[in-house]
Structures are given as structure tokens and as C-alpha cells.
Amino acid sequence: MPRLEIVSNLGRNRSATVGLLIIAVVLLVALIGPRLAPYDPLVPAPLDRLKGPGPVHYFGTDSLGRDIFSRVLYGTRISLVIGLISVAISLAPGTLLGLLSGYFGGWVDSLIMRGMDMLLAFPAILLAIFITAILGPSLPNTMIAVGIVYIPHYARIVRSSVLSLKEQLFVQAIAHLGGTHARILGAHILPNALPPIIVYATLGMGTAVLQAAALGFLGLGAQPPQPEWGAMLSEGRQYIQLAPHVAAFPGAAILLLVLGFNLFGDGLRDVLDPSLRSR
Amino acid sequence: MPLSYISRRLFHLLLILLGVSVLVFLMLRMIPGDPAQLLLGEYARPEELARLRTQLGLDRSYPIQYGIYLQSILRGDFGTSVRTGAPVVDEIGVRLLATIELSLAAMFIATLLGIVAGVISAVKQYSVFDYGSMFLALIGVSMPIFWLGLMLIYLLAVKFPILPMMGRISMGLEAPAVTGLVVVDTLIAGQLGACGDALRHLLLPACTLATIPMAIVARITRSSMLEVLNQDYVRTARAKGLGEAVVILRHALRNAFLPVVTVLGLNLGLLLGGAVLTETIFSWPGLGRYVVDSLMGRDYAAVQGCILIFAVLMALINLIVDLLYVLLDPRIRVHA
């Protein structure tokens, strides 16, 4: 499908438009958020502990008196970076493994896919917790853990595309004309296998943000005093009876960002991969 | 269904589990920190540490440690928890039942409400209900369930104290241990008050855990029903003069069920993962919370046992879904 047609179809798709709008706003906040933040997100103000939302502190303050609105704004950048890097970590090896597995078949396919099956035998969050426990709790390790967990998903998607593409006439013609495996895979199969990968990566951004926030919530992700949304929620849990706003706003921010990626991903799927269209 | 198909799948399952056990064994050894040191504390004497390492088998080579571990598993012995001193099998058993009770309740809620919402949305396509429920479903799949759990606790246990905020049953009440599922056990014993209490404890965590699967089931039921409702046999059923309810429930829904069953199976895996977070929020004494606590406490035997159980459950669920698939759609049987 020509690029112009894709853009015009995306523009007509309501789900994609709303999703893109949310992502654009979040991106803008990530870029200029620190300038908009009325307070320093890390400096405690003991006299202002657990204040409710109001004109001075729009989202209230946390147990150390820090302004939650400022912390949520700063956290936007962290969450977006987590989403992007985690997806990149899953995407690169996942795509390569899927390409090799689908193209060469035989023992290469069996070896790679059985390895992927093993990773898929764990519930995702459990595997992520496990990997973080090995690497140690920190933000970069969270991204690595979430990235590793989703490698099999990309490998499977790419493999299934390659399986059908390699039987197509144009690929077989290039092979007969003496095209090398690397050239066939890189220049001919990969570009044609891209639409489902792009769709899954967009939806995967939302999943990665959710999983990273879950690790932060369990105390295995970003460490205090970093204003990561999951870690902020974890702190809010202790004060849920006294000051529910401490947990409410970071959670709502996660929901909004994930909703944006899901809406845009759904729209992209409808446009790029009509066979999977959700009615 | 050919026996060779089932036996091939079972063999495949065994291979995966063997691989998982090696993977878990190696990964646990990569976790920084010495379990003996962790147990005896910072000021333990070197000879005490050496004695405990020998006791736990940590002074042997990895292949020998793994060999001993595998032999024990095959005997049904998952080792002893270094935190509590109790056999891991016993600890897992009690907690697994708590997780199963929670997951079954969540699955029940997700399936019932998800299918009803999906069917109504499809039958009344482009209505206010359709738009509303599909929007809610989209919110549902985007929801951090640990946040939803906290907000439900605040709303229904703190602000309007209708439901209890944690545990399986109120203090002072006790369920006789028959099945390990508190709601069932209290019902069997005829303790209706205690059963009601257990159900009230179950409601908040089950609803929290049900959110994402419910949203997914609603979406897939809707799209699957829409596809089926346009088929000729549905038109024929209507033309025969059958009532709309019969057409939808007997002719359309039954045929739309295949993708729904797959999604339900996949969701059971999702529920097991979700249980880790839900159990932490609601202090539910299940396997999810136990595995996190064990990992933090470097309780190797407990973590290995739990993760193997999780992997077995996931693999079994996938197998059952595939078999159900064959049973539900006779056309697949030919190729199976």
C-alpha cells in the first residue's frame, strides 16, 4: 500500500486519530514537562505531606511533601523511554530469530522455536520479575527484563509472515537469479513482513509500559526517589486509606498512555493488516 | 481424536518442562547473593556458613545439584523452604488452591460478563451499548490492574466500607479443609454465613483480576459473532422462523465460540500472571505472592517449585485448549 494512502487511511480511522492525539500530547509533555512542572519533583517538603489536590498542588503531595503533578510530568519521559527501549530490545532479536526460523526451517526452526516455547512457558510478569531479580532492581534492568520477555512474541509473528512470504513467486525468482540468503531476507522478505511487526510493536509499547510499571510497583523497577509512575503507585498503596490521590494520579497517567498506544495500534492494524481487522 | 496426536503433544510438553527446569535452575544460580549468608545473617561465622552450604548441597557442582534436584522432583519432593523449614510441596499445595479459587472466580466473572457484553454488542452493532461496552473494553485492556485494585479498595472498602479489603475469610471464622477452596468448603460444611463472608472477600480481588480477560473476551466475542451473524446458515435459521434468541444462542454463538475458547485459554495464562499482582495488593495468600516473597528471600527450592508449577499449569492449559478446539470443531479433527 503506498505511504500516502496509509496516512490518509489512518487519518480517517477514528481509533488511530484519537490514539495518535493522546500519544502526541504525552510526547509533548515528555519534552516540555520539566518546564511546566511548578515544583522540583525530588525535593521533599515535610510541612506539605499528603496534601490533597488543590490550586497550589494540582494533584496533591506525597508522603514526603513532593508535588505529585510535577512528579507525574517528569515521569512521562521515563515511561516513554521505558516503552521505546523495551520494545527495541524485544524487536531486534525477536525479528532476527523469526526471520532465521521461518526462512531456514528444519533444525534451525526447531531449535529457535523450542527456546521461544520455553520462555513462553512462564507468565510474562513472573519471567520479568525473575530476570530483574538476577540483574538487580533498577530502571535499565527493568527495560532489559521487559524486553527479553517479549522476544518470543516478535519471533513468532515474524516467523509466520516469513513462512508464507518465502513461498511467494517473487522470493523464489530472486533465489533462482542467485540472490544470497542475506539479501533475500534483508531486502525482500523483511520489508514485506513489516506491517504486522509495526502493529505489534505499537501495541507492545503499551504492554511494556504496563509491565515496567508493575515491576516498579513491586519495588523491582525504578528506585526512589525517581518519579516513575509504577514506583509512585507503590508508595501510594501505603497511604490508600489516608490519601488515595497519591496512587490515583500516577495510575491514571499509566492508563492514559497505554490507552493511547492501544488505540493507535488498533487503528494501525485496521489500516496495515486488514485481514486482522477488528470490526 | 488420534491418540498419536495427544501423545506427541504430551511428549512435547515434557520436553518444554525439562527445558524450563534447567532454565530456572541456572537463572536462580545467577541471582547475586549467597542463600546461606542470607539465612544466617551478616555476622555468621565461616564454619557455620560452610556447614549450611553443605546441608543445602550448595557446595556441589551445578550438574550434580541439578541431577539431585531432578531426581527429587520425580519423587514428588520439591525440597524444603529455607525460610520456613517446611516441605515446599506442602507450602505450594495450600497456596496453589488459594490461587485457583481466585483465578476460577475471576474467569467466571470474565467469561460471563465478557460473552454477554460481546453478544449484545454484536447483535446491536453501532448502538450506544455497542460503543459504550467496546470503549469500556478498551479501557479494560489498558488498565494497570494493580491501580484498579487500589482504587477499588479505596472506593468499596474504605470510602464506602461494603467489602473487606484483604484476606480470604474474616478472623474468627474458619473453613473446614476439604477441597482447599474456602467458598466451597464452607458451603459443604453448611456454614452459609462463613460462605457469604468468603464470597465477599473474594469479590474485590476476583473483579480486579477479571478486568483484562473480560475486556478481551468481550471484544473477541463481538467480532466473532459479527462474522457468524452474516453467514448463510444464520439467515436460513431466521428464514425458518426460529425465534431471535434461538438463532443467536444456538446457531450463532455456538459457531462463534471457537476463537472465544482460544482466548479463554490464553487468558487463563494471563490470570496466573495477574495473580502475582492481585495477590500482592489484596494480601491474598496464593502462589503469586508466595513466589515473589520467595524470590526476595532467595528461597531457591520454593521459587523452583513455584515456577515449575506455573509452567506446568500454563502448558496444561494450552494443551486443553488445543484439545477443546478439536472437540468443538469437527473439521479440525480430520487434520489433527
CA dist B331 → B233, B320, B336 (Å)? 17, 18, 9
Using alpha carbons, list the distances in angstroms from residue A45 to A65, A243, B4, B17, B311: 4, 16, 69, 52, 47
Determine contact: A263 vs chain B, CB below 8 A.
Answer: yes
Q: Does A271 touch chain B (CB under 8 A)?
A: no
Q: How much of chain A, in percent, has pLDDT values that exceed 90? A: 63
Nearest CB to A255: which of B142, B154, B280? B142
Chain B residues within 8 A of A132 when measuring between CB atoms: none
What is the reported pTM?
0.89
Give the DSSP H or E segment for A253. helix A245-272
pLDDT above 70: residue B333:
no
- For the ranges A130-134, A189-193, A271-275, B7-11, the maximum mean pLDDT occurs at A189-193
- C-beta atoms surrounding A130 within 10 Å: 24
Displacement of CA B161 from its chain's centroid (Å): 28
Q: Are A264 and A213 in contact (CB under 8 A)?
A: no
* C-alpha distance from A217 to closest chain B C-alpha (Å): 8
Tell the residue number behind the cell numbers 459504550, with chain if given.
B132
Least confident of A62-66, A206-210, B315-319: B315-319
Q: Average pLDDT in the B190-213 region?
A: 93
Q: For B80, which DSSP code? A: B
Mean residue pLDDT of chain A comes to: 90
| pLDDT tier, B142 (very low <50, low <70, confident <90, very high otherwise) | very high
Domain ranges of chain B: 3-74, 89-155+205-335
Q: Which residue does chain B place closest to A122, by CA atoms?
A: B311
Query: Closest residue of A to B311, CA-based?
Result: A121
Judged against a pLDDT cut of 50, whether residue B336 lies above it is answered with no
* Cβ pair A218:B292 closer than 8 A: yes
pLDDT tens figures, B233-276: 888 888 888 888 888 888 888 888 777 877 777 777 778 888 88
Q: What is the pLDDT, as a whole number, of residue B303?
A: 84
Mind telling me how many Å the CA of B201 is from chain A's nearest CA? 18
Contacts of A131 in chain B (CB under 8 A): 27
Highest mean pLDDT among A84-88, A171-175, A216-220, B237-241: A84-88
Question: For A248, which of B143, B146, B151 is closest by C-beta distance?
Answer: B151
In chain B the first and final C-alpha atoms are separated, in Å, by: 7
CA pair distance B147, A246, nearest whole angstrom: 11
Nearest residue to A278 (alpha-carbon basis) of B261, B52, B215: B215
- Chain centroid offset of residue B297 CA: 23
In this model, does residue A61 exceed pLDDT 90?
yes
pLDDT at B188 over 60: yes
CATH of B89-155+205-335 among 2.40.50.140, 1.10.10.10, 1.10.760.10, 1.10.3720.10? 1.10.3720.10
pLDDT given at position A278: 47
Say if residue A242's pLDDT is above 60.
yes
- Residue in B9, B103, B143, B146 to test binding to A, most A beta-carbons within 10 Å: B146
- Closest residue in chain A to residue B28, using alpha carbons only: A134
Are A48 and A65 contacting, i.e. CB atoms less than 8 angstroms apart? yes
Q: In the structure grid, which three cell numbers stand for residue A51, read together?
A: 496534601
Flag if B273 and A124 touch (Cβ within 8 Å). Answer: yes
Q: How far is A244 from chain B (nearest CA, A)?
A: 7
Which has more confidence, B4 or B87? B87
Cα separation, B262 vs B252, whole angstroms: 17
Cell readout for B88 is 515446599
